[in-house]
Structure 1
């Protein structure tokens, strides 16, 4: 299948004879970089020890514990577990968390 575009509908690469950019393209040039992206780029370097980027050591992940929790939830309430909830969260989970944290 070949897809073609009507040349009359295509946006020009430049909007004027002077080579200026269309307004949207000109505005996007002034957008700065993402601080998070900048931090992650630095922390990806092997010589950098990251203490602030929010990237814990993978050896600290309890992958099996998390997998077991997912299996338990999906075995008990798969339809509810995979569905969206309200912004406030599932009332039963909120009550359980409140009870657990109020004991401490």
Structure 2
């Protein structure tokens, strides 16, 4: 099993069934892409899988994989929110909504 490579800024994704999932790192995102993704089509989906694999092999920065994952989520119609890093959370706040 590969060690997790964390995103500097975690993200929250509202998946197609309406539930919200938090993604803190590359392995988490790739697992979702490979095992739970609603549509396994689309250029952004393929790019996100490739970038996440490359990040886990230390060939691409985690920020690049995160950006590709966010783009794939938006392409699939799943709203994304940036979350404050775990070490910066100090109270209730509403993170900004990302849009295409």
After TM superposition, the score normalised by the length of structure 1 is 0.22
| Structure that is richer in helix per residue | 1
Which protein is bigger by CA-based radius of gyration?
Answer: 1
